[in-house]
Amino acid sequence: MKSFLRGKVVIVGQGYVGLPLALELAKADWQVVGFDISKSIVSQLNSGSSHIEDVSNLELSKFLENGQYKASSSLNEFEDAEVCVICVPTPLNEQGDPNLSMFDSAIRMVATNLYSEALLINESTSYPGTVRDYIKPLVKSLRVDRANSMLFASAPERIDPRNANWQLKNTTRIVSGLDQKSTEKALRFYETICDDVVEVSSPEVAEMAKLLENTFRQVNIALVNQLVPLCRNIDINIHEVIEAAGTKPYGFMKFFPGAGVGGHCIPVDPLYLLWRARLVGLDLPFVAQADLVNSNMATYVASRLIELAKPEKGDYLVLLGVGYKKGISDTRETPAIKVGQVILQRGFTPLWFDPLVPNFEHFDRWDGQSIRGAAVITAQPGLPLKEMISQKIPILDCTGEFRFKNGVETL
Q: Which residues are catalytic?
A: 265
In angstroms, the CA 63 to CA 30 distance is 11
Report the Cα 71 to chain-centroid distance in Å: 22
Nearest CA among 201, 190, 196 for reference residue 4: 190
In angstroms, the CA 59 to CA 122 distance is 25
Q: How far is CA 307 from CA 219, 228, 291, 393, in A?
A: 28, 16, 25, 13
In angstroms, the CA 34 to CA 23 distance is 9
Q: What are the two backbone dihedrals, phi and then psi, of residue 290, each rounded to the nearest 5 degrees?
A: -60, -45
